[in-house]
Amino acid sequence: MPSIISYNVNGIRAAIKKGFWEWLYAENPDIICLQETKAHTNDLDFTITQPESYHAFFHAAEKKGYSSVAIFSKEKPLQVAYGCGMEKYDAEGRFLRLDFADFSVMSVYLPSGTSGDERQAFKEECLADFLPYITELRKTIPNLILCGDFNIAHQDIDIHSPKTNKNSSGFLPQEKAWMTDFLATGFTDTFRYLNPSSQAYSWWSYRANARINNKGWRIDYLLVTDTLKDKCLSASILPEAEHSDHCPVKLVLS
């Protein structure tokens, strides 16, 4: 039963200092998609770029210490696609895809709009571009798994205080509507599909003891094309992993 994890590590070197490797090898996923690695491969030790038991791939932002994604896979992929072919997003290291015989896995890090109007506009531009990009990709890759930080809490159940956050980036009406429309094109939110009434979060602010008080947001997703929906055995959130302000999300497939 293959297992896939998605994890925004908020700096891979910082996560390693907090016990990331020990956790990873205990969890032992077949594939782990990372976001916000915040590192160029030439700045990383070989123990990170060539981890034991895994093939490792990285797509870094041009700006050092910013954004960037990676995927570690036990099985060697048939093909690796770095970026999405749109320079403004690829310069920020937001997409990385591995193709296997029966499916493809993509590490996705959609922009945050929390720093102000300019980045919120960039985020919404990216959302508008991402849907047709994925729609076109699915013509040749029908079995696709999107793993990552979408920076959107989709529904009231996915956020600790929906009323007070109704005007917050990540929970704006247009963002929630985008997620609804995106799923309607033929994707399943695996955690919500298998845990329809579970209120669990994958990100907490560093402020005001948010994690201790479990005042969080579910913004990290494992989305599968509906062609893979019936193969989903379990989907879980792993808050006990504390290497980041996010925690990992996990999917087990048959």
List the catalytic residues. Answer: 109, 149
Residue type, 130: F
* Pairing of the two strands 31-35 and 69-73: antiparallel
Residue with tokens 């960039």: 122
**What is the 8-class DSSP label of residue 81?**
E
How many other CB atoms are there within 10 angstroms of residue 201's CB atom?
22
Burial of 173 (0-12, 13-18, 19+ CB in 10 A): exposed
How many other CB atoms are there within 10 angstroms of residue 248's CB atom?
26
| Beta-bridge mates of residue 145 | 105, 224
Burial of 154 (0-12, 13-18, 19+ CB in 10 A): buried
Handedness of CA 114, 117, 123, 128 (dihedral sign): positive
* Pairing of the two strands 187-189 and 220-225: antiparallel
Q: Tokens in use for 236?
A: 């879980």
| Beta-bridge mates of residue 8 | 35
Cα separations in angstroms, 3 against 22, 36, 76, 186: 17, 21, 15, 22
